[in-house]
Structure 1
Amino acid sequence: MRPAPVLALCAALAGTALLTGCGKETAAGAAPAATCASLAPVPDPAGRTWDDVRVVSGKCGPSGAPSTGFEVTNHDDEPLTYTITFTLVNGFGEAMDSVTRTVEAVKPGQTVRRPLDTAGGPGSARGYRARVTKVRSVPAKGASGGADSCPSSGVRITNDRGDAAMGLRVVGIHLVNCSGADYRLDGYPALRLLDADREPVTGVDILHGTAAISTGIGGDPTPRPVTLRPGESAYANLAWRNTTTDGTPVNAPYVEVTARPGDEPVTVTPELDLGTTGRLGVSPWTRTPDDRQPRPDQRPGASQE
């Protein structure tokens, strides 16, 4: 197994980790607006650990004010982009909110510290404990990129949250041409399923088409060439059933998506809970309907006047 990432929350009060806001997250690689000074371990309450995650106390707010932040240390041998989900709970232990933070391109051996804001912003009177509830890390070179950035490949690939009903799961893989040139697709994306340690998942058949999973998804379009102009997008659906019978359920939180032969794979996190069915259906690339395409003023190079 690959070494787990080390993430740490720096709390204002030992054992309480009250969130009172501490400035905005900075761009990847830039120094954060506030630091977490005087770090010290605190007791390890349930729900605030993730593998090697440890809770520390410090001053993370503006001008060293007590507040809460988080820290990521990359123990892998390549740059990683982290997505961390925190659950905010009140003094009674009730979950009040969930926030997600992304830290891009953390170098091997590097520790990156970020403040963690509440919805009320810096100085908010709202106070919640922060718990780390999910950590996902993908190779930085294969990360999908943020909504305001465009990877060197010229396309941005993401997954949606999907739909679930009666054990049937459907998740969309979305590709946006964020370059300044046309981008051509043809057929099906190539997929590689990865477990929580980003190791290959075996024993799952990847089917071209979703009809074998369910006929109620709407049918598969016929594979055909799709040419995307700058700013246009396409999608492919992943479909499976999470039925569990005999055997060990298979979970694949990560999927490497290769949009077309010769492209570099991009790692997304659709969180596949495949049960024991051993099958995953994928539909061909299909142009996104015009009513869901980005507006002209959202396309690369469009006038912002």
Structure 2
Amino acid sequence: MPKPVSLHPAFTTTAPFLSALAAAALLLTACGTEHAGAGNTGADAAAPQGGSMRIDDPGKDGVRITSLTLPSATPSPTGSYSVSADGLTTGSDSGISAAYEVTNESAEPLTYTVIFTFESSGGGAVTNRTETVRDVGPGKTVRGTLRAGELPPTAPRVTRAQVLEVTKVPAGEAPADPGTCPDSGIRVSADEGDAAMGLRVVGLHLDNCGTRPYSVEGYPLLELLDDDRKPVDGVEILDGSGEITTGAGPDEQPRPVTLEPGESATAGLVWRNTTEFGTPVNVPYVRVRAKDGAAPVTVTPHLDLGTTGKLGVRPWEKAAR
């Protein structure tokens, strides 16, 4: 398994020009003794520029933001999180960061992928950042800090941050980070996909990052899972995409593929999100096995299958180098 992500604790500093009242608030926040009541739903707070306050953030699916650090030249954020002033930054980094915590309330270790959004006072997204937090044990809480990074000069000022989306998979089935290699020597992942005129295509990628050849033939084996990672019924998984569309190219016959170390193969998921009569089906998780007997990897392509009830799967093909 790849090594867990290294997480660094949040930090705060006191800007020299803060008023005595704001400095005292910062000290209370640093000591963890200031706990403002919940109930602020996101309206701008009347705190001094670079000031600090703490209001409970309920978060989402076990992930919540605990503090937001802004450069002192940035206006104070909304009353949703603890905010601490920081000195003016130099260079390309914005100096904006969010401290967060991830709590696993399940009975098994989980790996979390979280999309955080940094927003302006008007509620518009300034930038989104994705963080993967690996191997959070049952009942455990892991804390870390995420930086907003470089922002365009014309970007509006960030005043708040939120947890936008959370996906979580069994730690032993999480896709490996790019640049790392699982013990199996085989890395399975899904790309962000493409959508046009209601047609959806997501690529599956199989990388031989090990030291020995690896052979596959035919189609990846799939299990479709709902939000609770339980099997989704009523969807027909088709060999090939011809019944879905001809726009993804002709169906190729499965053939043996042998990957030498450093080589890759691709397959594809193809569907339409047409919605007519019935209840639309959404599949956030797909458990993938490269072939029969291979270890499963759970990816998160978020299949919006509509009411079509069909998902086409294209066979493994060696990727061009």
Q: TM-score, normalised by structure 1?
A: 0.78
Distance apart, 1:185 and its partner CA? 0.6
1:170 to 167, 188, 201: 201
1:269 counterpart = 2:245: no
Figure out how many residues of one structure are paired with residues of the other and give that number.
Answer: 259
Question: Secondary structure of 2:172's partner?
Answer: helix
Amino acid at match of 1:45: T
Of structures 1 and 2, the one scoring higher in RCO (CA 8 A, sep 6+) is 1
Distance apart, 1:80 and its partner CA? 0.8
Question: Secondary structure of 1:141's partner?
Answer: helix
Whether contact under 8 Å (2:66, 2:101) holds in the other structure is no
Whether contact under 8 Å (1:81, 1:106) holds in the other structure is yes
In structure 1, what is the Cα distance between the partners aligned to 2:211 and 2:182?
Answer: 12
Question: Secondary structure of 2:175's partner?
Answer: coil
Matches within 5 A, 1:33-72: 33-34=9-10, 38=32, 40=35, 42-45=38-41, 49-51=59-61, 54=64, 56-57=66-67, 68-72=98-102
User: Which region of structure 1 is more displaced relative to structure 2, 31-40 or 139-148?
Assistant: 31-40
Distance apart, 1:33 and its partner CA? 4.5
Question: Secondary structure of 2:315's partner?
Answer: coil
Residue number in structure 1 paired with 2:191? 160
Residue number in structure 2 paired with 1:84? 114
User: Which region of structure 1 is more displaced relative to structure 2, 216-225 or 280-289?
Assistant: 216-225
Residue number in structure 2 paired with 1:288? 319
In structure 1, what is the Cα distance between the partners aligned to 2:201 and 2:248?
Answer: 8
Whether contact under 8 Å (1:35, 1:114) holds in the other structure is no
Residue number in structure 2 paired with 1:109? 139
In structure 2, what is the Cα distance between the partners aligned to 1:90 and 1:201?
Answer: 38
Whether contact under 8 Å (2:224, 2:285) holds in the other structure is yes
Residue number in structure 2 paired with 1:136? 167
In structure 1, what is the Cα distance between the partners aligned to 2:171 and 2:61?
Answer: 21
Residue number in structure 2 paired with 1:16? none
1:249 to 260, 277, 280: 280
Distance apart, 1:43 and its partner CA? 3.9
In structure 1, what is the Cα distance between the partners aligned to 2:67 and 2:206?
Answer: 41
Residue number in structure 1 paired with 2:179? 148
Distance apart, 1:109 and its partner CA? 1.1
Distance apart, 1:28 and its partner CA? 2.4
Distance apart, 1:260 and its partner CA? 0.8
Residue number in structure 1 paired with 2:52? none
Whether contact under 8 Å (1:44, 1:54) holds in the other structure is no
- Structure 1, unpaired ranges of 5+: 1-26, 291-305
In structure 1, what is the Cα distance between the partners aligned to 2:99 and 2:233?
Answer: 38
Q: For the structure 1 residues 262 and 28, does the alpha-carbon distance in structure 2 shift closer, same or farther, using more than 3 Å as the test?
A: same
1:118 to 145, 148, 155: 148
Q: For the structure 1 residues 289 and 59, does the alpha-carbon distance in structure 2 shift closer, same or farther, using more than 3 Å as the test?
A: closer
Residue number in structure 2 paired with 1:17? none
Superposed CA RMSD in Å reads 2.7
Q: For the structure 1 residues 225 and 44, does the alpha-carbon distance in structure 2 shift closer, same or farther, using more than 3 Å as the test?
A: farther
Whether contact under 8 Å (1:177, 1:231) holds in the other structure is yes
Distance apart, 1:241 and its partner CA? 0.6
Amino acid at match of 2:142: V
Deviation digits for residues 275-305 of structure 1 (CA, Å, limit 9, x no counterpart): 0000000011000012xxxxxxxxxxxxxxx
Q: TM-score, normalised by structure 2?
A: 0.74
Residue number in structure 1 paired with 2:8? 32
In structure 1, what is the Cα distance between the partners aligned to 2:101 and 2:319?
Answer: 38
Distance apart, 1:44 and its partner CA? 5.0
Residue number in structure 2 paired with 1:21? none
Whether contact under 8 Å (2:119, 2:159) holds in the other structure is yes
Amino acid at match of 1:237: G
Residue number in structure 1 paired with 2:219? 188
Residue number in structure 2 paired with 1:296? none
Residue number in structure 2 paired with 1:226? 257
Distance apart, 1:56 and its partner CA? 3.9
Whether contact under 8 Å (2:219, 2:315) holds in the other structure is yes
Whether contact under 8 Å (1:44, 1:55) holds in the other structure is no
